[in-house]
Amino acid sequence: MTNSKGSFAAHEKHRKRGSRLWLLPLLLLLMVTCIYLGLRHFKPDWIFLIEEQVSGITRHADLTEIPENRLSFEKISLTDISNQPDTYTTDSSLMLVNDTHMLSEDYTPDLISYKDTDVEINPSLEESYHDLAAEIKSRFDTSLYIRSSYRSTAEQAAESEAEPTLAAAVGASEHETGLALDVYVPRFAGSGFIKSGAGRYVNRNCWQYGFVIRYPYGKKSVTGIPYEPWHLRYVGKPHAEIMYKASLTLEEYIESLVPGACYEYGGYLITRQTPEDGTLSIPKGLQDTRISPDNEGNYILCGIMAD
Ligand SMILES: [Zn+2]
């Protein structure tokens, strides 16, 4: 009788423990949710970077190579191209500038003053930056400021001397082209920029305005420079979209374009050409054609394809 009572009690205890087991996954889920919400509140930059890395796995940009026999080309000299500003827009928006692709000594940047201020920028990004800053103002009710834009050789030399580990050497900085901007919002500058909602918005959406985060998180092995959430580089559309969606740096994007091949992306034709006797083979029938040197001896041409 005692034995039977004892075994009944043990069985009952085991049953109760078993019936509480379902609580475990619930508690675990609650714990993970609390940690996530806590991090989201106290470390929004960490969560942002994790989310971006995860979405980077599923994001993609597919360029389709167009068979050469589907296109007809005309050979135009580089001189004629620059003499036809109504047909071809020439700029340096896709020029690679880093410590192995230095600016030539005779390089002269194209500069304007941004909206009558003393901020000097490349004219190709004026409208895009204005639109991005207006979007930040309307979404976050805060102003997006430029801390640094164009730097003259003397200014870059001073910067490089003051911060040799952070600033590039003379000739190796995109700031010398006027195509790079270091931006901030009040109270959130430098690496703190992504601690602000505006900073995270800029990092995630600047491609829509033709900008890329030139030194993205996790790409130091390619760019040689750690993550700089504040440094925007103008490359134009649709290149910025492709680079963001395919998680490519400018180095990787240029490398991915095989010289001579023509690609289609979202209604645009993109081709990287090596000049032959000072001429480029330009596909016929393009509209709004833009041409930029890549600083590797080639030119990247991009235009809207006719329907
Ligand atoms: Zn910068």
Confidence band of 9 (pLDDT split at 50, 70, 90): low
- Closest Cα to residue 115, out of 100, 127, 101? 127
Name the more confident of 40 and 178.
178
d(CA 211, CA 239): 9
Ligand 1 mean position, distance from CA 123 (Å): 18
Ligand 1 mean position, distance from CA 175 (Å): 6
Residues in the chain: 307
User: Tens of pLDDT along 209-238?
Assistant: 999 999 999 999 999 999 999 999 999 999
CATH of the domain spanning 43-305:
3.30.1380.10
Ligand 1 mean position, distance from CA 274 (Å): 30
Confidence band of 91 (pLDDT split at 50, 70, 90): very high
**Which segment of 137-141, 168-172, 211-215 scores lowest on mean pLDDT?**
168-172
What is the average per-residue pLDDT within 83-104? 95
Whether omega for the bond prior to residue 238 falls within 30 degrees of 0, making it cis, is yes
Quickly count: other Cβ atoms within 10 Å of residue 9's Cβ: 10
Residues whose CB falls within 8 Å of the CB of residue 40, separated by 6 or more in sequence, listed in order: 47
CA angle 108, 96, 232 (to 5 degrees): 90
pLDDT given for residue 2 in this prediction: 47
Work out the burial of residue 73: count CB atoms within 10 Å of its CB; fewer than 13 is exposed, 13-18 middle, 19 or more buried.
middle
User: Tens of pLDDT along 259-271?
Assistant: 999 999 999 999 9
**Hey, where are the domains in the chain?**
2-40, 43-305
pLDDT given for residue 36 in this prediction: 85
Ligand 1 mean position, distance from CA 189 (Å): 12
pLDDT above 70 (res 18): no
This prediction has a pTM of 0.88
Ligand 1 mean position, distance from CA 191 (Å): 12
pLDDT given for residue 14 in this prediction: 65
Ligand 1 mean position, distance from CA 183 (Å): 8
Confidence band of 15 (pLDDT split at 50, 70, 90): low
Residues whose CB falls within 8 Å of the CB of residue 183, separated by 6 or more in sequence, listed in order: 144, 145, 146, 147, 193, 202, 230, 232
